[in-house]
Amino acid sequence: MLHLILVETALELIPPKYRSHSSVLSNVKKFGNPGRILDSALHHSCMKTLQDSQKRGRPDILHQYFLTCLSSILNKNQQLRIYFHTRNDEIFEINPHMRAPKDYIRFKGLMYQLLNEQQISFSRQSSEKTQNGISSSVKDDCLISKINFSLIVFIKNLNPDKILRFTTKGTLTSQKVLFNFMHSYQNKNILAIIGGFQSGSYSSKVMDIDAEDISIYPEGLETNAVINRVIINFENAIKLFPEDDNGKDQKTG
């Protein structure tokens, strides 16, 4: 099982100090609650004085994370658990059967509800309930639930068999051998940590986690590129795709 967590995700409400800024007011008037989510594409003029501004205001990164993870074959085969962590040290678990909004504005509206209410129920997104039998800690009637632990305590309670932290400062590792250890780790829980911000470095809080630092490319990659490679290589490592008698992958879909 792969447990994937996006840490220090660039998702937050606009800080109170900036809520009367002209760019904020105009976007709230235009978009409503989605305009209350800090977004560098809309609020760049008021973000210039924000501390760590290079790591903030990118909810689109989280949106892509939702779309990529929830639509993955790994998730469809119940081999993926999905979480995200914010700069305010909040942790949320995503129901593996959730259908993420493809529309970005609608997604930001959902995130506004989440940050205010701490969870999103099925009725919030759709009156149609998904299938039962969800083997995760998220509540059966929730699409997204808050985990009431700090990042450190969450990882301690999860107690994964191995923790990988993806960073350009890690050991450069060929994607072909990235999850080779899974040959001897069958039925084990692996935690992969990926940054949910556009630039900058992990905080000391994240770096204090006892993890193996991995780099999959000599240069920095966009978050979604890392997520894709991690998921695909994990699928291959656990031999998710059966082979036919000729050793060729069977046709799917």
Reply yes or no on whether the pLDDT at 139 is more than 80: no
Mean pLDDT confidence for 209-227: 94
When pLDDT is cut at 50, 70 and 90, the band that residue 239 belongs to is: confident
Q: How far is CA 54 from CA 39, 112, 151, 185, 194, in A?
A: 12, 21, 22, 37, 17
Residue 233 · residue 79 · CB < 8 Å: no
pLDDT digits (tens, 9 = 90+) for 159-192: 999 999 999 999 999 888 889 888 777 789 999 9
Mean pLDDT confidence for 31-42: 93
pLDDT digits (tens, 9 = 90+) for 60-115: 999 999 999 999 999 999 999 999 999 999 999 999 999 999 999 999 999 999 99
What is the reported pTM? 0.87
Question: Looking at domain 2-237, which CATH architecture does it have?
Answer: 3-Layer(aba) Sandwich (3.40)
142-147 sheet: strands from edge to edge: 119-121, 142-147, 91-94, 80-86, 2-9, 190-195, 162-172, 212-215
Mean pLDDT confidence for 212-232: 94
Instruction: State the Cα–Cα distance between residues 5 and 91, nearest whole angstrom.
Output: 9
Mean pLDDT over all residues of the chain? 88
When pLDDT is cut at 50, 70 and 90, the band that residue 46 belongs to is: confident
Give the bridge partners for 243, in sequence order: 249
Reply yes or no on whether the pLDDT at 211 is more than 50: yes
Strands 119-121 and 142-147, bridge-based pairing: antiparallel
Which DSSP symbol is given to 60? Answer: H
Chain mean position to CA 142: 17
Instruction: State the Cα–Cα distance between residues 127 and 131, nearest whole angstrom.
Output: 13
The domain segmentation of the chain, as residue ranges, is 2-237
Reply yes or no on whether the pLDDT at 253 is more than 80: no
